[in-house]
């Protein structure tokens, strides 16, 4: 959620793949390169959140909770749009709840979910699954035995 590259890959692939929320480093971010890539993909003008980078763990817990209800894609895209189009810090519960509302998740259920050990354990298990697939940085797209990361993931998403 904290990677603008993940947002761009997510917009490109949409619901055509399984989304696995994983809290991993997003790598270095060249703001000019992100802006140029977003423009080339027809995305609206970026608004960088303050602070950036932000701690995305809360949003990743929200995405993990949303995945259990079949709303991982809707929640994740809504959250990343809040971060990179509205300039909101996804380390703040109110901003995570805005994303949750966009995909019709009840705020109390989200708060309870992100605070639960079960959701935290599921997020950690997803990181272990990603590591087993060779994923070390996001965004990442895995098809067959091949993994694309970073800007390559955006290209792969667009052709998926």
Residue 94 to residues 62, 63, 79, 91: CA-CA distances in angstroms? Answer: 12, 15, 11, 9
pLDDT score recorded for residue 133 = 86
CA contacts within 13 A on the Cβ side of 148: 16
Q: Cα–Cα–Cα angle for 124, 5, 92, nearest 5°?
A: 60
Q: What is the pLDDT of residues 120-158, one digit of tens each?
A: 999 999 999 999 988 888 888 887 778 888 778 888 777
Tokens of 4: 């603008």
Q: Which residue has the higher pLDDT, 152 or 100?
A: 100
Tokens of 14: 């949409």
| Cα-Cα-Cα-Cα dihedral sign, residues 89, 91, 92, 93 | positive
Structural domain boundaries of the chain? Answer: 4-159
* 3 state DSSP class of 140: strand
Q: What is the pLDDT of residues 34-75, one digit of tens each?
A: 999 999 999 999 999 999 989 999 999 999 999 999 999 999
The CATH architecture that domain 4-159 belongs to is: 3-Layer(aba) Sandwich (3.40)
Residues ≥6 apart with Cβ < 8 Å to 52 = 29
Q: Cα–Cα–Cα angle for 142, 155, 101, nearest 5°?
A: 75
Tell whether the model's pLDDT for residue 159 goes beyond 80: no
Residue 78: how many other CB atoms lie within 10 Å = 22
Tokens of 41: 């993909």
pLDDT score recorded for residue 83 = 98
pLDDT score recorded for residue 152 = 83
Record the pTM: 0.91
DSSP 123-145: HHHHHHHHHHTT--SSSEEEETT
């Amino acid at each position: 959620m904290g990677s603008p590259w993940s947002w761009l890959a997510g917009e490109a692939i949409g619901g055509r793949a399984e989304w696995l929320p994983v809290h991993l480093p997003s790598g270095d971010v060249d703001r000019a390169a992100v802006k140029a890539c977003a423009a080339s993909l027809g995305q609206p003008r970026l608004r960088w959140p303050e602070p950036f980078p932000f701690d995305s763990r809360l949003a990743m817990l929200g995405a993990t909770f949303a995945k259990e209800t079949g709303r991982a894609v809707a929640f994740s895209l809504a959250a990343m749009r809040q971060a990179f189009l509205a300039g909101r810090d996804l380390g703040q519960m109110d901003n995570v709840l805005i994303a949750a509302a966009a995909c019709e998740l009840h705020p109390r259920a989200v708060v309870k979910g992100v605070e639960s050990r079960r959701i935290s354990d599921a997020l950690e298990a997803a990181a272990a699954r990603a590591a087993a697939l060779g994923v070390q940085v996001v965004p990442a797209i895995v098809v067959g035995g091949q993994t694309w990361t970073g800007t390559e993931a955006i290209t792969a998403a667009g052709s998926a």
